Structure 1
Amino acid sequence: MRLSLPLTLGLLLLAAVAPAAAQEGTALSPRVLDEAALPGVMAKAVDRFIVPGYRNLSRTTADLAESSAALCETPSAATLEETRSTFSEVVRTWSTIEIVRLGPALEQNRFERFLFYPDRKSTGLKQVQVILSKRDERATQAESLKAKSVAVQGLGALEYVLYGTGAETLASKDGGFRCRYAMAISQNLAATAGELLAAWEKPDGIQSAWKAPGPGNPLFRDNKEAATELLGVLVHSVEMIKDQRLRPFYDGAIDGKPDKGRPKLAIYWRSGNTMASIAANLRGLQTLFNIAGMENLLPADSRSIAGSVNFLFKALISAADRVEGPIDAALADDKRRSRLDFITLNTADLLDRLNRDFGGAIGLGAGFSFADGD
């Protein structure tokens, strides 16, 4: 009976947004991209979402570097708690902007240096544990750490240092080495955030390519290619949430039998930031969708699709916010598990709304497949 609540909610939600898609599906007018609206939408995506997002990331990572330095200088329960709190803020800030997984984020392995995930074979964990057990001093300097594996220099590594086995030593002088390693990771995160911000702020760099699609553009030869990239950010990110962030630790019911869940496969499970991160991913996507004015790409008779998309975003964010606390505790609670069922069901629907309904309505073609690169 546990599934009755999420399934009922899901069916109600699907019923609420289905009429809009059905209405657009029956439209006979040809679906073509609004060429005049696209450059303005791309410019707002850059100026109002991407650049501010990286500015926030640069600010919070600088705060993290400062708080970790204070922890090393004056180790105590209070300074450890402050560093952990700042870490959680960086997780939320990163989760908001990590959806822009393209351009500068893919260069020089910046994305993996910031977050090595999924770590399917516990490669990163094992390497971090070796550094801690051997007290490898090369990991305590930002420059030499940067030359090491990407698996030992990002948020996953830092989470283990701050929350994993032996982390309690950080509150005393016994945790000196561990703290210096944490500080080096924090400094590397701040440096990487600064690189990402600088790349997007450069007037003649990637932001110029986003704002002016055309024959001489190195990224987008026309507006359709630019629209594909922008909508692809949303589609690929919702796929990521569904397949990489939810499915590894929870599948819902299988053949009518409840899935007990696998909490230790969830991202940020040690720090209790699993659902806060997923909620931030969804907030980032909704913010990008609205602040860029993507609704303006839709024909006048298809604007209700944007309402359907926003309805789903709002419902999913609300549900994610209410799966509070450590993920293992959430999986042991029927009410919070029902919310996870709801999120799982409706994330799949959101993906369909964006890929099929929105993509088709703006002229990318019904059934447009980003995965195939069409």
Structure 2
Amino acid sequence: MSHMPSLALGLCLAALSLPAMAQEGSALSPRVVNEAAVPAVMARAVDDFIIPGYRNLSDKTALLTKASAALCEVPSAASQEKAQEAFSDLVQAWSTVEIIRLGPALEQNRFERFLFYPDRKSTGLKQVQAILAKGDETATDVASLKGKSVAAQGLGALEYVLYGNGSDVLASKDGDFRCRYGVAISQNLDAIANEFLAEWQKPEGIQAAWKKPGPGNPQFRDSKEAATELLGIFVHGVEMVKDQRLKPFYAGTVDGKQDKGHPKSAIYWRSENTMPSIAANFRGLHTLFKVADMESLLPNDSRSVAGSADFVFKSVIGISQTIDGPIGEAIADDKSRAKLDFLTLNTADLLDRLNKDFGGAIGLGAGFSFADGD
């Protein structure tokens, strides 16, 4: 992989040469969404990405619950490793669909209960450590755990149980309490995943609102509102990766000074899932972009906007997948840091392509910015 930094630079220069192509036809047709295409795009987003994504999430939480229970039943290094593998598989499934931060995800604190992040003041970490130190039995029952702080019942808490200080105790009977707490978290995650899926599968629920925009629809009064919501997923998703996933642990070079990095501020740093989760975030966004056929929302003479976004999606996914191992080691390595610089630059570029170029091409450009939350 020693050729990757030069490849990254080449891809970066190629990506930066695309805006002219993305602007094609900007004076040739009205900047409006292709309203006739919207219902089909929304339907594909639901049927071909959101529901299958949550179904996969539910499958992975079920497997994690099984692996966690097996660890408690027969504690060993091997069963601990299997539980850790199931955790990493779940992180991949979640990172693919966590971009859908709306509807059922916002109800009943489901999103925060599944993943409390960022934990800027280490509030969640302290709560999890206190539960483990005190042997708080109420944390081992999924019903009472659900009533505790969101920070003590989701992926972050489980990562600490499986990988944090003292986690080696899980390989023996001495880890019984810690293990049972992990099982309760797994069961809680499984329940939430099943709620996500059930809410989206209801025929007259949110999927009906997505598939039939119109005057009688409480969510989307017209196709433009529906298209705005869908494009917002991409803009906010890329913005989330840029500001909440990459920036906390590595800001790149600012004013000629290179950031030394903050590896313990990275999500999933203990389990080495930082970059795999970021790659999955981008893959989820790219898959949704393709399967929903976002290109069909554009005026015919602006279709190149989708092509340029697709190019940058492939670039950031490709580079994300080549940065592995402990995130601290990646920051300290010149070649990996060059990849992180490339990734940071192109994530910002992708945000502009979606927010300004795509949004502008469907009439959401003037005075409108998803990035500002408008």
Q: TM-score scaled by structure 2?
A: 0.96
* Structure 1 residue 209: Cα displacement: 0.2
* Structure 1 residue 366: Cα displacement: 4.4
Query: Contact 2:295 / 2:303 at 8 angstroms: preserved in 1?
Result: yes
Supply the distance in 2 between the matched residues of 1:348 and 1:278 (Cα, whole angstroms). Answer: 14
Supply the distance in 1 between the matched residues of 2:371 and 2:346 (Cα, whole angstroms). Answer: 20
Long gaps (5+) in structure 2: none
Residue in 2 aligned with 1:153? Answer: 153
Residue in 2 aligned with 1:20? Answer: 21
* Structure 1 residue 292: Cα displacement: 0.3
Query: Contact 2:235 / 2:371 at 8 angstroms: preserved in 1?
Result: no
Supply the distance in 1 between the matched residues of 2:22 and 2:35 (Cα, whole angstroms). Answer: 23
Q: How many residues align?
A: 370
Supply the distance in 2 between the matched residues of 1:11 and 1:189 (Cα, whole angstroms). Answer: 38
* Structure 1 residue 365: Cα displacement: 2.8
Supply the distance in 1 between the matched residues of 2:373 and 2:277 (Cα, whole angstroms). Answer: 28
Task: Tell me whether 9-18 or 305-314 shows the greater mean CA deviation.
Answer: 9-18
Supply the distance in 1 between the matched residues of 2:214 and 2:373 (Cα, whole angstroms). Answer: 19
Residue in 1 aligned with 2:284? Answer: 284
Going from structure 1 to structure 2, the CA distance change for 1:71 and 1:50 (only over 3 Å counts) comes to same
Supply the distance in 2 between the matched residues of 1:17 and 1:94 (Cα, whole angstroms). Answer: 31
* Structure 1 residue 218: Cα displacement: 1.1
Query: Contact 1:214 / 1:220 at 8 angstroms: preserved in 2?
Result: yes
Supply the distance in 1 between the matched residues of 2:179 and 2:167 (Cα, whole angstroms). Answer: 9
Supply the distance in 1 between the matched residues of 2:135 and 2:159 (Cα, whole angstroms). Answer: 18
Residue in 1 aligned with 2:254? Answer: 254
Fraction of identical pairs, as percent: 69
Supply the distance in 1 between the matched residues of 2:11 and 2:80 (Cα, whole angstroms). Answer: 41
Supply the distance in 2 between the matched residues of 1:21 and 1:15 (Cα, whole angstroms). Answer: 11
SS in 1 for 2:258: coil
**Structure 1 residue runs of 4+, over 6 Å off?**
none
Supply the distance in 2 between the matched residues of 1:10 and 1:239 (Cα, whole angstroms). Answer: 21
* Structure 1 residue 81: Cα displacement: 0.2
Query: Contact 1:75 / 1:170 at 8 angstroms: preserved in 2?
Result: yes
Residue in 2 aligned with 1:57? Answer: 57
AA at the equivalent of 2:21: A
1:297-331 residue CA offsets vs partner (Å, 9 max, x unmatched):
11111111111001000000011001111101111
* Structure 1 residue 360: Cα displacement: 1.1
Supply the distance in 2 between the matched residues of 1:372 and 1:271 (Cα, whole angstroms). Answer: 33
Long gaps (5+) in structure 1: none
Query: Contact 2:302 / 2:361 at 8 angstroms: preserved in 1?
Result: yes
AA at the equivalent of 1:18: P
Going from structure 1 to structure 2, the CA distance change for 1:50 and 1:21 (only over 3 Å counts) comes to same
Query: Contact 2:23 / 2:302 at 8 angstroms: preserved in 1?
Result: no
Supply the distance in 2 between the matched residues of 1:220 and 1:34 (Cα, whole angstroms). Answer: 16
* Structure 1 residue 373: Cα displacement: 4.8
Aligned CA RMSD, in angstroms, stands at 1.4
Q: TM-score scaled by structure 1?
A: 0.96
Query: Contact 1:357 / 1:366 at 8 angstroms: preserved in 2?
Result: no
* Structure 1 residue 18: Cα displacement: 2.1
* Structure 1 residue 9: Cα displacement: 3.8
